[in-house]
Structure 1
Amino acid sequence: MKNHSKQTNKLNGLEPVKEIQNTDISKFIVKTLPLHEKIRTNRLVISKDGGSYGKEVPVRIFVLGGNDGEISQFNTFYEDEKAFIKANDHVIFFQVIMFENKIVSHEYSPISNNKYFRNSNNSPLLANQKVWRYFNLTKFEDLIKNRTLFFNRLDRFIDKLEGISPDSCEECILNTETGKSIVEKHENIRLMKERFNFARNSTFTSCWHINNKQNERMWKEYANERSSVAIETTYGDIMSAKEDVQLPLHIEKIRYFDEPFVNQESYWFPFLFKRRAPYEWENELRLSIYAYNYDNQTYIRTKVPLDKFIKKIHLSPLAKKHELINIEKMLKMHKVNIPVYFKNKRVI
């Protein structure tokens, strides 16, 4: 299943930001996106069994450019990291929404004042970086019994600001965008908020913890029972297991910020950002699935290869011998052969 669309053109040395902002958007997008590509992306929808079928849905397309004079386009719903990688050193000019081969609207980047629009320079993780997930016993058994990973819809998270850009992004539109009327600015804010809601209802996430050792606060917050467990893996193992996942999966470290804050990524990819003070201790690695037509579902399950995905199973610091016996029986029943650690010693 492919719904990723990319086209490339050269700007012949022109300054991309000024050139694109002064371009007739309808002429530009029609020129750069061939008709067959418009039809193909318009009709591809992820179905609930992971396949695709024909149904007319709005297509959301990013248009990017950089100092290399190159223009690129990506479907907003990402099957790989190409759009994110491209955005590291290119500017997202706008997002175009098309339906039935017609432009419905376009949301531009608030980039007139470039000093407010810098990327966060997120450093990549090493393959051997340890990553953890803390479970109560019920959720752990669900994982090993069904061999599926649970992805919760973003708008169902306790933090109701998940997937919403900071207020400073709206202020950036209102206060720094020269050459835009107040009507145009408020329309862009409306499109930004509409995009939030669309993305939050279409993004499904599994949250993991980056650390080289167990974290006492994570035990207390997410697995504060004697029967709880933590599974240990590595970033490299997660990336390897990604190839076996049925749906397009994006894996990236969460970035944390203090208000006021605005950059290109927090504006367009707010699901990768959190307010620093309440959440930075979580040091989160986020696994996300972006799906068009799951907005009537509150979660997604996808198959994962447990032998690739899990290095070790750690029992809670509160556990007693009884909990160890129960875990041993559970693993045997579900035919799972993964090392188990109890009081920091391997016991299975």
Structure 2
Amino acid sequence: MEAEKTAVILARLRLGESAASMEWRIKMLRAYARENGLAIIKEFTGFENNPLHESDLFDESLNFIDDQASKITIILYDDCILEDSAISKRYKQLTENGKVELDNFFHPCFVEPTNSQIKIWRYLTLPKFIELLHSRELFFSRADVLRNDDRSEGTTLTNAGRAAVEMLRLIAHHHGAQPLPGQPDITVAQMVSLLATKNQAHDELLKQFFISCWHMNEHENFAMWRVYSEPFGVCIQSTYDSLVDSFNDTEYGFYRKDKKVYAGEVKYVDWDNYYIPGDNAFWPVMHKKREFGYERELRCIVWASGKELVKVGVELDKLVHRIYINPYTPAWFHQVIAGLCNKYGLGEDRIIQSSLT
């Protein structure tokens, strides 16, 4: 029989951050351990500004692990060892002895809202709302399909990036055999070819990304009603923590190591002066033009190859805080939504008629 895998939690926040933030951090790490079959035997939590290789909490956790008989996983949020120190050398020794490994929950492409209870909104047409109630699943749009509304969706190159590539092409036309500055093992012409291949490959990769889009705001938004709903539409209001905790799918989940639902804020940038990082395939789908900044978008993303459609199961009672009815609907439409909510067990007490008229 395989021995139970054990873990310790190392939850650190900077001095001055709130106790509520620490509570949320610990909650996430506990859920991550539970979802991935790790039994927590100790928790180290606290506020400090030191990097991990100088952390008293990390040192304390290594002391504890050194006394254990079996290998221990340290579950962190977003820490890594950047420099040599007495603490990092000790960690390396314990690693070589098969006693410890680090497991980070955080993904660098997905920056969570600083306020885990920020309100989020999903504007829906009536058919999509009914489908959500009936299936109890969130629909995730394939990333390349989103280009029907925004042609730059998921692109690897901004205007600045395209200009740089075009300049490189011009140089390759006259000096293609010369080595690339700083990279003597590759020529300018080879780099141009490599970039073209990479861009084509990413366009195909977009077909494997599936996205659920939410709007972050403390209030409903007139522009979002106009763009993303319809006269007989509704808006679901939730919070970030309720959203990520609501996933109860048999295949995908926010706290899973594999088959993960990633979640984070979209970064809005100046397309003429910004270069999208190229070291991770998620970066292009987490950047948008600054002109779309009014969307204040939170994205949930699933990476699923070989699928045309992705839906992720949710607990509706946990996800749905309020249901706002489009401000332009007639009074009788309230009873239609109330009937649907009662039929599917949500109750009509969550329904609010929008006052944006």
> TM-score band, normalised by the shorter chain?
0.5 to 0.7
Letter in 1 for 2:182: T
Could you say which residue in structure 1 is the equivalent of 2:156? Answer: 165
Q: Alignment partner of 1:264: what SS?
A: coil
Do the aligned partners of residues 161 and 343 (structure 1) sit closer, same or farther apart at CA in structure 2, a change above 3 Å counting?
Answer: closer
Alignment identity in percent? 22
Q: Alignment partner of 1:84: what SS?
A: coil
Do the aligned partners of residues 131 and 266 (structure 1) sit closer, same or farther apart at CA in structure 2, a change above 3 Å counting?
Answer: farther
Are positions 1:182 and 2:196 aligned together?
no
Shift of 1:266: 8.5
Q: 1:342 aligns with which of 335, 353, 356?
A: 353
Are positions 1:271 and 2:285 aligned together?
yes
Alpha-carbon distance between aligned partners in 2 of 1:312 and 1:290, rounded to the nearest angstrom: 29
TM-score, length-scaled by structure 1: 0.60
Alpha-carbon distance between aligned partners in 2 of 1:318 and 1:216, rounded to the nearest angstrom: 11
Q: 1:68 aligns with which of 83, 87, 103?
A: 83
Alpha-carbon distance between aligned partners in 2 of 1:193 and 1:67, rounded to the nearest angstrom: 31
Could you say which residue in structure 1 is the equivalent of 2:142? Answer: 153
Do the aligned partners of residues 83 and 263 (structure 1) sit closer, same or farther apart at CA in structure 2, a change above 3 Å counting?
Answer: farther
Are positions 1:251 and 2:256 aligned together?
no
Could you say which residue in structure 1 is the equivalent of 2:301? Answer: 288
Aligned length: 233
Letter in 2 for 1:342: Q
Could you say which residue in structure 1 is the equivalent of 2:233? Answer: 228
Q: Alignment partner of 1:319: what SS?
A: coil
Deviations 1:248-284, CA, capped at 9 Å, x for gaps: 211111001112211536874100001112x111111
Do the aligned partners of residues 198 and 343 (structure 1) sit closer, same or farther apart at CA in structure 2, a change above 3 Å counting?
Answer: closer
Q: Alignment partner of 2:251: what SS?
A: coil
Alpha-carbon distance between aligned partners in 1 of 2:190 and 2:162, rounded to the nearest angstrom: 13
Alpha-carbon RMSD across the aligned residues, in angstroms, is 3.0
Q: Alignment partner of 1:237: what SS?
A: helix
Deviations 1:284-308, CA, capped at 9 Å, x for gaps: 11111101221xx1x3112111011
Q: 1:314 aligns with which of 324, 333, 350?
A: 324
Mark the structure with the bigger radius of gyration.
2
Alpha-carbon distance between aligned partners in 1 of 2:303 and 2:145, rounded to the nearest angstrom: 15
Deviations 1:41-74, CA, capped at 9 Å, x for gaps: xxxxxxxxxxxxxxxxxxxxxxxx985379xxxx
Matches within 5 A, 1:85-234: 85=108, 124-157=113-146, 158=148, 159-167=150-158, 168-169=160-161, 174=168, 178-179=182-183, 180-225=186-231, 227-234=232-239
Deviations 1:180-230, CA, capped at 9 Å, x for gaps: 3113312320342133123211001111101110000001111130x2111
Could you say which residue in structure 1 is the equivalent of 2:17? Answer: none
Give runs of ≥4 in structure 1 deviating > 6 Å: none
Do the aligned partners of residues 177 and 206 (structure 1) sit closer, same or farther apart at CA in structure 2, a change above 3 Å counting?
Answer: farther
Alpha-carbon distance between aligned partners in 2 of 1:229 and 1:81, rounded to the nearest angstrom: 38
Comparing 131-140 with 154-163, greater Cα deviation is found at: 154-163
Comparing 178-187 with 156-165, greater Cα deviation is found at: 178-187
Letter in 2 for 1:215: N
Do the aligned partners of residues 261 and 125 (structure 1) sit closer, same or farther apart at CA in structure 2, a change above 3 Å counting?
Answer: same
Could you say which residue in structure 2 is the equivalent of 1:331? Answer: 341
